[in-house]
Every structure is written in C-alpha cells, then in structure tokens.
Amino acid sequence: MVDYLTAILPALIPSMAFIWLKFQQSQMPFTTEVFAKEYDYIVVGAGSAGAVVANRLSENPFVSVLLLEAGGYETYQSEIPMMAARLQLSEWDWKYKTVPQKYACQGMKNHQSAWPRGKILGGCSSLNYMLYVRGNRKDYEIWERLGNPGWGYDDLFYYFIKSEDNRDPDVLKNGYHGSGGYLTVSTTHYTTPIAGAFLEAAKLFGYPNNDINGASQTGFVVPQGTIRRGARCSTSKAFLRDIRGRGLQFLVDAPVTVVQPRVMVAKSFTQWASLGIGPLTMLGGLDGIGFIHTKYSNRSEDWPDVEIHFIPSCPSSDGGESVRKNMNLKDELFMKIYSKYLYTDTYSYYPVLLRPKSVGYLMLQSANPYDPPIMDPKYLSHPDDAATLVDSLKICIKMALSKPFQKFRPQNWPVKWYGYLVKGIKRGAPIKPGQAPVPKVLLEPKPEKGPKGPIGHLVNIFSKSGFKKLTKRIQWPLFA
C-alpha cells in the first residue's frame, strides 16, 4: 500500500496544489466589479510598499481607497519558499534588464544583468528570497543627519516592531522584535547539514552567531524570513487578506495560473503543504547569511561593508535550469566553468556590496507605460567597489575551505574565470572593462532623495487632486 501511494503521489501533486490554491484564493480580497465615480486615494501598484500604504490609508473608515495592480494573484509557486528562483523570468516578473555594462556583467549575455520586479499582488515581496534584514543602525542615523527628521533608527524601530509578528520565542526575548503585527517573521524550519559548518567557520574568523536585526549586525546566522506556517508571507498576504469590509477596493488585471514545476519531490511537497516543514521552506535555498568587514572597513564599528549569502548549491546544481538563466550567464562561460559539475553537491558564498559608490541612473524610455524603463546601475564604475568585492572574495574562499568544512572534503574547482581578471584591482585606481567577475543582483536599487533628487522625506501620495509633493527635496545615500 505504501509503495502504491508513493507511486501515485507525484501525479496527485498538481491536483493537491490546485485545491490548496483555491482555498488560499478564498482568503484573498475580491477584485472589485463595480467602481465608484471617485476615490479619496488611488494606490498604483500592490507591491511591497503599495499593499502597506493601502492598508494604512483604509484604516480610516471615512475614506475610500482603490488599489490597482497590473499583475495577478499569488500562485502556489510563489507560496513555496524554495521555489523563489523559478519565479524570476516567469509571467510574474516584469523581466527587466540593465543596459549593457562596461565594467561588470562580462560573463552575462550582452553584458546585461536581470533586474527582477514583481508583476503580482505583493510585488517583489511575492518574488524575492524573503530574507528579513532591516539594515544597519548607522545607515538610518546618516539619513537623519542629512536633514531627514523621523528617519533615524530610533524613530523607525517603533514601526519595525509595530508591523512584525515574530513567531520565534528565542528571538523575541531579546527585545528587538515585535509580535502581533501584520508581517509574519519566522526562522526557517529546515537547513542542510552544511549550515552548521558555515556558522562554525564564521566563529574561526571572529564573527559571532547572532541576531543580525538585534543589538549588533556584524555576525552570521541562519536567517529569519517573512514566512508564515512554512509559506511565503508577502505584503499581499500580510496587509491585504484580512481587511475586507474596509473602504478598500481592488482591481487585479491578471487571472491566477497554475503551472506544474518540472521537479518537485512528492514527500517534500506533502511535508510543506500539510505541516509547513521540510526543504521547501528554505528561503530560496539559502542556508545562512553573514555581515563582515573587509580590510577597507573599520572593524571597531558595527558597520560591516559586505553581506554574505551562503547557498548549498551553484548555477550547475539544477543542471543549469533556473539559476543559470536568472543570472543571464553566457553559454560559453557556463560550459567552460560549470558543465563538468552538473548536479554535483556544491556550496557557494555570494558576497554582496552594502554601500556601493558607483552611481547610475533610472529613467523612462518613453511615454508608453509598456516600454521598460532604462536601467543603468553602472556597476563597478567606481574602483573602490571592485576592490572591496575582490577582498570579500578572498575572505569567502578562506572561510569556504576552513576547518569546519573539512569533514565534507571540499575542493575548490580547478577552473579559472577565463577572460575575467581580478588581479591588479586596487582601491582608488581605475579598473579596465572586463576586469570584474560576474556579479549577481541581490540589492534593491534606491532612488536618490535630496537637493538633487526627486523624492521628499514625507513621501508623495496620490489623491483626488493629483500627485502632491509634500516637502522640499532631500538627499539620502544608497545602501543595499
């Protein structure tokens, strides 16, 4: 009997998913069929911010709010944390790309990097890797010193606590987290056996295992994520599903589509769907994160300059099916470096530059709303960025081959990044096109705010009388 059930479970997965999705849809807000002639507020985009804005505005029972979203409802694929990578370049992604880069992306097709943007209720919060990372206290304090009252860490901490519903009692007791808010945060229920080595290696290099949203950010941890009962908790789920009856109406443009993933183990799916446990609860397959200081950062300050993502896989682990495409890797590069290691057990360190000095731009391509924007981050155009990343790569290699990993008998791949040099890059010295290794976009680009920027510290809202600028322009620096 057991063997029979095991045999038919894979065939039942799409049906189980469809039934589960129909139940989830019943918990979603209804699309409005009859619209009012006018609204007090129209919120354009039900993304990470739009869903929150619509929720807060509709708390006032005397106002009417219309929320517009170009995408559709969340799907069962977006609900499964482990499947985050497969959502990129899908129908729920706007599929934006940067303009060809001069100093970076040399291993990517046409030297372009993908910029995933959510075309779905919840926006990027329904598409991303769900990491719950607030940022560094000092970054917020710098914002405030530049003339932004109310944007310091102590002011914003109240709102972090207010919105959070942390489900981990061991984390809650340190006093830096909230419970009872809209946004569910929890610790992943599953890690691979190699996650422990990642944390032990950090200790060897002087980094504690700590709550990165707590008293000190510097350190390593199995991360918390925006997860509710083992499933993704997007801003749509957190801020929109439970507010029926308010003066809030919805216009959602696309229908829900159910697509069977190519690879899904029956046991893993049943663990996730029934109990909210198992490998499918991993945050996009991520096992740990850490915040470190390179040699260009002052270690006496709790202000690390690089974030590390630890993933027990690489672009060839799935045979080149999803991550390779998401990174837009050139075919010749993939064949040269990864083709010999298809479906091989691997682990990877991904360093992320937290405060890049390179300055790019974002602009409209035309008046046609369906034309994608022009995105030019000018990655690594400032030489300090390349130098910092190179030093972080050296640290990552040392950690990855340190004693805690030796029981797994690790080997650094005997392959050079042909044509992509990292030697000779020095801080303060210009780099040449093609010197940089392949980057991966892991940051949220922020618009410039300030005397030279377009956005005020009180933000702009849309009302019946149109867009209103509420205060003078002020400048904020970028951080990841």
Show the beta-strand stretches assigned E in 35-180: 41-44, 65-72, 96-97, 114-115, 164-166
Kindly give the residue spans of alpha helices, DSSP state H, lying in 58-148: 76-79, 84-87, 137-145
> Residue 128 carries which DSSP code?
S
Residue-by-residue pLDDT tens, the chain, 480 positions: 444 434 444 544 555 555 455 545 555 555 666 678 888 998 988 999 999 999 999 999 999 998 888 898 888 889 989 889 889 999 999 999 999 999 898 889 999 999 999 999 999 999 999 999 999 999 999 999 998 899 999 999 999 999 999 999 999 999 999 999 999 999 987 899 899 999 999 999 999 999 999 999 999 999 999 999 999 999 999 999 888 778 888 877 633 333 344 444 444 444 444 445 556 677 778 899 999 999 999 999 999 999 999 998 888 888 888 888 888 999 988 888 888 888 888 889 999 999 999 999 999 999 888 899 999 999 999 999 999 998 999 999 999 999 999 999 888 776 555 444 444 455 555 545 444 544 443 323 333 333 333 344 554 444 344 444 333 334 446 566
Does residue 478 contact residue 378 with C-beta atoms inside 8 Å? Answer: no
Chain Cα centroid distance, residue 470: 30
N-terminal to C-terminal alpha carbon distance within the chain? 52
Angle made by CA atoms 409, 224, 194, in degrees to the nearest 5? 10
DSSP 3-25: HHHHHHHHHHHHHHHHHHHHHHH
Going by DSSP bridges, is the β-strand pair 164-166/183-187 parallel, antiparallel, or unpaired? parallel
202 alpha carbon, distance to own chain's centre: 23
Residues of 389-418 as b/e, b for ≥16 C-beta within 10 angstroms? bbbbbebbeebbebebbeeeeeeeeeeeee
CA 40 – CA 73 distance, rounded (Å): 25
- The domain segmentation of the chain, as residue ranges, is 16-82+115-128
> Reduced to 3 states, what is the DSSP secondary structure of residue 127?
coil
